[in-house]
A and B are shown apart, each in its own frame.
Chain A
Amino acid sequence: DAKTTQPPSMDCAEGRAANLPCNHSTISGNEYVYWYRQIHSQGPQYIIHGLKNNETNEMASLIITEDRKSSTLILPHATLRDTAVYYCIVRALTTSGTYKYIFGTGTRLKVLA
């Protein structure tokens, strides 16, 4: 199974960039990397996804290394509302030929005032 490794927790000062790393050394060549976040105990929320190229949207930027073994989610100007658990997710092929997503335990980001 493709798996991800993330630091369990990080702190970031309000207004600064938050850089959240993720290792996915066993990712397959055609698999995307997804990032979701979960605020308190709400349902996870989609942030961004990418394959090879760097991606940016209104929420964040995603930087993927050339060998695709790791990526970094960047929140350019973190606010207190960005305090959440961030999940880096890859897809794994099951024995039945379908796909499943491995969420892992994520990184708990705390934005400090």
Chain B
Amino acid sequence: EAQVTQNPRYLITVTGKKLTVTCSQNMNHEYMSWYRQDPGLGLRQIYYSMNVEVTDKGDVPEGYKVSRKEKRNFPLILESPSPNQTSLYFCASSPGTGGHLNYGYTFGSGTRLTVV
């Protein structure tokens, strides 16, 4: 089944403790992206990747890192999490480097992160 898999689904952590949220897609998509969703703010893009070893900042990249060493994986790294990073996170992928929403932009099921 074609899908984007995020892990974990739920995570509670303490301030300053490094964590990684994994994202993997099995569709051979070139474009991958991370979003965070907060009440009243909709979905905001954190980082995106046009292809292996090509990443760029989205709208809210502060406090996050990403890497794209393989096509299928696009982990989101929080080096020193803070409470303002408590949010619902989504990974998404699409074929092609343009990240076109009409070309089967597929979202993962989400990761609910709480930083205390």
Contacts and interface: CB of A to CB of B under 8 A. Distances in A.
Judged by DSSP, the binding face of B is: strand
Interface stretch (B11-19, B61-69, B70-78, B103-111): B103-111
Chain B interface size, under 10 / 10 to 19 / 20 to 34 / 35 or more: 20 to 34
Contacts, number: 56
Interface in A27-51: 32, 34, 36, 41-46, 49
A44 B90 CA distance: 9
B101 A43 contact: no
Contacts of B112: 41
B109 A106 contact: no
Interface of A: 32, 34, 36, 41-46, 49, 87, 89, 91, 96, 98-101, 103-106
Given A32-B102, A100-B45, 10 more contacts: A36-B101, A41-B88, A43-B90, A46-B101, A46-B102, A49-B101, A100-B48, A100-B59, A103-B43, A104-B42
